[in-house]
Amino acid sequence: IRTKTKKYELSGFILELPSEVADSRLIYKEARIVGGVDAPEGRIPYQASLRSWYNSHFCGGSVLNNRWILTAAHCTDGQSKYGISVVLGTTNRLSGGVKYSVDRIIIHKKYDSASIKNDISLIKVTKEIQFNNLVQPIQLPEADTGEGVELLLSGWGRISYPGSLPVHLQMINLTSVSVEDCQNIFIQINPVFNTQICSLTKYGEGACHGDSGGPLVSGKSVVGIVSWGMPCAKGYPDVYTRVYSFKDWILKTMEENKEEYPAPQKIIFPMN
């Protein structure tokens, strides 16, 4: 039995998808990197790991400065600042690094979980992040990202599907795809907006990559936040929040929330 397929031609790639998949609405918002390699220690010093109450890694993020972490809204939606923490300065998911408590979580007011639009949020940690050779901030982009741009993705996403999370931080080189090409591929699956970036590389890589919320980098700037895609390692583009589209929101939000909350007063009860 021959499987019916649909072909999509996009700048340098020909993508052939099974019809039942091309017409489906299978969308993941999970942490996966397929086809990557171990990141050398200190190579990705801006990488953040978001941890649950039980210290389990569940999303990635990017260090913007000494108090703020950039991540995806779908990572922090419904989360309490008391239930998560941020670990920096390690490539090992199970050990090392420095843990920071969370002061506040700010999700973009227009985040839409149904269409996964405006999938961006900021986390402010309770104390200043200490920078060293393993922990460094990454800058916001000065210009927008076009198609055919070389990109670097990192995270502790799954290295196979199905499979478990890797212990060591993974990284992979990708190439940006035009929004128009990406929209044509996903037209019957999920909308792709101009405020998003798509990436692709050879079959078996570039799809299902990502630690949700993690950094997509061009040069010295974080240009994307891992948002969503199709089932793993099938050669589909991945979709990221386009950081440049939200640069003003990021800067304004950090400025408006730079004040410190007062420390709780110690209450002394009289002894009888």
Q: Which one-letter DSSP state was computed for residue 249?
A: H
Report CA Rg, the chain: 19
Whether 245 is a known active-site residue: answer no
Amino acid occupying residue 67: R
Q: Tokens standing for 8?
A: 């999509």
Is residue 212 annotated as a catalytic residue, yes or no? yes
Which 3 state secondary structure label does DSSP give 183?
Answer: helix
* Helix-strand-coil split of the chain, %, nearest 5: 10, 35, 55
Catalytic residue among 74, 176, 199, 227: 74
- Of 245, 70, 242, whose CA–CA distance to 149 is shortest? 242
Spatial separation of the C-alpha atoms in residues 218 and 233, rounded to whole Å? 22
Classify 56 as helix, strand or coil. Answer: coil
Catalytic-role residue among 119, 181, 211, 238: 119
Residue 171's SS3 state is strand
Question: Is 74 tagged catalytic?
Answer: yes
- Marked catalytic residue, from 49, 62, 154, 212: 212
Report the catalytic residues: 74, 119, 212
